[in-house]
Structure 1
């Protein structure tokens, strides 16, 4: 035997051994579409991402890998895998992925929504659960919610009974946006920026402009977000973001100062801003955290309510059987008076309508992105530390393996089986679950139920003349939240004989 062969054989053996060891150590990632060099799957993703991911799940399975540039994103689309993400591995997946703009807006997670899991998050979460969204405080603020919903009813009644508008369709979203805006600003700041005629005051105009500008800046994403070493080619507009933050802070501090002065005179601390300011020392809350929490409530509570109610009304206009059944219950329980939140326990079918709307049309269909703080296993696959994890709650709510006739709007399914929608049943997750479940879930449910209930009790709703149910555009706008692509137009007809039931009785709080 040639002695020269021995070193070669040893080298080959070492290479094979190293290769086997590498293959054993290499993460076993979920399947998914083949990524391209540098950009990954970014240019393969369709604009409505949750629908695109649901289509890919049909090909690759309920857990898939999607590459945003060099960043691994894992998308799960089944209730079993949602449980693994949000319960079984909750702590390891409780961090938050922040884009560069989200990091700037939140001061690197000084708020609640964009904070990583840790001592700060636990403290702020405790403030929300024990102080801001406690049942006693929500009940104390109930008159505000009911006041704003009756203001919406009055506005619709006025417009649909005008001689020149009689029988004409209304743009439903306009009325929903008004009540949602006033409700959340009154709960958070104790201020009503829009009067009963729909006129926005100067401070309200500034408030709306800041909100719109924040959405505009936050929507600017580039390849630099997902390929870190290319960020020098895609710099953030730091000047625009700094100007926006300064403008937002100036308005928020002015309102906080107003409340501090009022509280020193009356001692009242009913609204969220008052509660946070009085709790500042107890929980060691920074000014950045207080302002961040207030804007979290605005961004999380305003559009999501409008979205859910508009989708529900679209389904109810298309499904007259369901609309009439809900109205029969309202007539039987509420009758010739104004509905209140105290009626909810006696309106089981209305509650089923609300649940069905959240099942079919969750306002944040992919939830907000979670991030793995350590290596973790999901569905038998390896999820490396730093991976971004999404739960496709839109796909889960339409899973034919879980739901009979999943695309049909049939509230009766929730009469047949009681399903919790606040994070305990992983088949319907409009508010998430686990450590990052939305602390304002009950507030959101109450407001959605109140708005739908009043709309159905006071009015009958029909499609415009010549429009068939199948003509209603039930597609979604692209984005993190799911507005209807084409705003709903419908004809409202008053159903109650007493015109006094359409009058708003203002509540000052």
Structure 2
């Protein structure tokens, strides 16, 4: 009987709270929520498309309830500026679900920490130490090693007699490259030998990452209905087990590097050595070091694979653009050597292509959620303390009021208009803006540009036999980060001499 009373009282509490907020605040309009569940049953799987449609119905700012939690979504550049600049400090907190609490060590990392002294400290560490121009340049050999390794792998597979003229699934190559690159930067290990076999530690890491993806993409009702969390015992246990497994793995890696440094006195440029040597200077707890290392993994792996796959899909669909990049590469780099990152500054059209890809396919299209730490006004509406604010970056970059022919993949637009994509221009925000801007933006731009440049310099890419370019599926997969729903398949035809398709291998740096 007591349980029934509690169960019946929950909707009444929700209704009373909602009525109180309506009387007290002028909230943005939006779809009518149900008691307890809010708008969970109205939301379509690909959130960014769903929210863009709702913005056309309810206006550029609207309210949506995830369970009983108020989420405000803004969908144009002017409102994005109000969120990310005018009210930046008041909207710089994070809304952490139970899953994210575990992944982020209760917000002791960077990505999911609330704005305050801890965030300022770790942000300074990332800006001045981990992602400094000096360190990024020192780590460049690893990037070029892994990019050329990927190209070599593609060449071997497409040159095999049984594969002649056959399409390859690009995500497999991009995903492996991203895994090896970010684990070398973060943990200082490649986890794979020269025969392409991943060692035991690498297999353990891949298992942890696969579990994280399953836990992160499986949206449990417990995340939105905290009153009923006790009903989800199995999910809670799986989360605890994953956290323990990731902790054990990371501590073992940290211990190995500590022992190696004591033996040799040599500090490498990768992140685990940097964090351990800077631990006392920045007063970092072990939880913060572990949280930061996993931030790097989560932020640097999927997003790279996603962005390059979308870029290649657009280039397969637009052979005119592909040919124009190749002409620029042949003129600047030639056909007798490999492209390097130092060539990028002399490849303006390639840079425009990358910018156009980030415009049309931002890897985190809704940005990570901002949480109000005070009552603020956005677009003339009240945003109560504790509400979440999401910036629809996907909609901003496809706004016909700002962009001419926004659905057309046309890199030349960036020769015609000066648009920055590192947080100062609210028309294009693939890395966010303000206090929560991604500190690794330049690393991401360098890596994505290098990958696409190498793929186009070394190969010409065409659709599989019998597939028209207009039939390539350009729908997003549901999730915080948006993979292509259907993995891209394309046929690579080598353009350069066979001896150039070799990995430029380096050791740990």
Residues 65-94 of structure 1 deviation map (CA, whole Å, 9 limit, x = unaligned): 001121111000101111111111000000
How far did residue 227 of structure 1 move? 3.4
Pairwise mapping of residues 310-349 of structure 1 onto structure 2 (< 5 A)? Answer: 310-335=309-334, 336-349=336-349
SS at match of 2:492: strand
Match of 1:200 in 2: 198
Task: Give the alignment's TM-score, normalised by structure 2.
Answer: 0.93
How far did residue 23 of structure 1 move? 10
Match of 1:484 in 2: 484
SS at match of 1:281: coil
Match of 1:444 in 2: 444
Pairwise mapping of residues 417-496 of structure 1 onto structure 2 (< 5 A)? Answer: 417-496=417-496
Q: Distance in 2 between matches of 1:94 and 1:268?
A: 34
Q: Distance in 2 between matches of 1:436 and 1:233?
A: 34
Residues 169-208 of structure 1 deviation map (CA, whole Å, 9 limit, x = unaligned): 0111111111111110111111112345442211111001
Task: Give the alignment's TM-score, normalised by structure 1.
Answer: 0.93
Q: Distance in 2 between matches of 1:346 and 1:114?
A: 37
SS at match of 1:58: helix
Q: Distance in 2 between matches of 1:238 and 1:318?
A: 44
SS at match of 2:359: helix
SS at match of 2:490: strand
Q: Distance in 2 between matches of 1:198 and 1:433?
A: 39
Contact 2:175 2:305 survives alignment (8 Å): yes
The farther-off stretch of 35-44 and 275-284 is: 35-44
Tell me if 1:286 matches 2:285: yes
Q: Distance in 2 between matches of 1:415 and 1:45?
A: 38
Q: Distance in 2 between matches of 1:363 and 1:330?
A: 26
Q: Distance in 2 between matches of 1:130 and 1:421?
A: 21
Contact 2:144 2:504 survives alignment (8 Å): no
Contact 1:71 1:227 survives alignment (8 Å): no
Q: Distance in 2 between matches of 1:343 and 1:317?
A: 23
Contact 1:178 1:198 survives alignment (8 Å): no
Tell me if 1:400 matches 2:400: yes
How far did residue 224 of structure 1 move? 3.4
Match of 2:210 in 1: 212
Match of 1:67 in 2: 65
SS at match of 1:399: coil
Q: Which runs of 5+ in 1 are unaligned?
A: 1-21
Q: Distance in 1 between matches of 2:227 and 2:301?
A: 36
Contact 2:167 2:490 survives alignment (8 Å): yes
How far did residue 166 of structure 1 move? 0.7
Over the aligned positions, Cα root-mean-square deviation in angstroms equals: 1.4
Residues 425-448 of structure 1 deviation map (CA, whole Å, 9 limit, x = unaligned): 111111111000000000000000
How many residues align? The count is: 487
Say which one has the larger Rg. Answer: 1
Cα 1:467–1:220 shift into 2, 3 Å: closer
Match of 2:362 in 1: 362
Contact 1:370 1:389 survives alignment (8 Å): yes
How far did residue 214 of structure 1 move? 1.5
How far did residue 235 of structure 1 move? 4.9
How far did residue 237 of structure 1 move? 3.5
Residues 311-370 of structure 1 deviation map (CA, whole Å, 9 limit, x = unaligned): 000000000000000000000000121111111110000000000000000001111111
Contact 1:155 1:196 survives alignment (8 Å): no
Contact 1:39 1:223 survives alignment (8 Å): no
Match of 1:409 in 2: 409
Q: Distance in 2 between matches of 1:157 and 1:451?
A: 14
Contact 1:178 1:194 survives alignment (8 Å): no
Match of 2:12 in 1: none
Contact 1:94 1:370 survives alignment (8 Å): yes
Q: Distance in 2 between matches of 1:221 and 1:502?
A: 43
Q: Distance in 1 between matches of 2:21 and 2:107?
A: 37
SS at match of 2:112: coil
Q: Distance in 2 between matches of 1:177 and 1:226?
A: 31
Q: Which runs of 5+ in 2 are unaligned?
A: 1-19
SS at match of 1:478: coil
How far did residue 259 of structure 1 move? 1.1
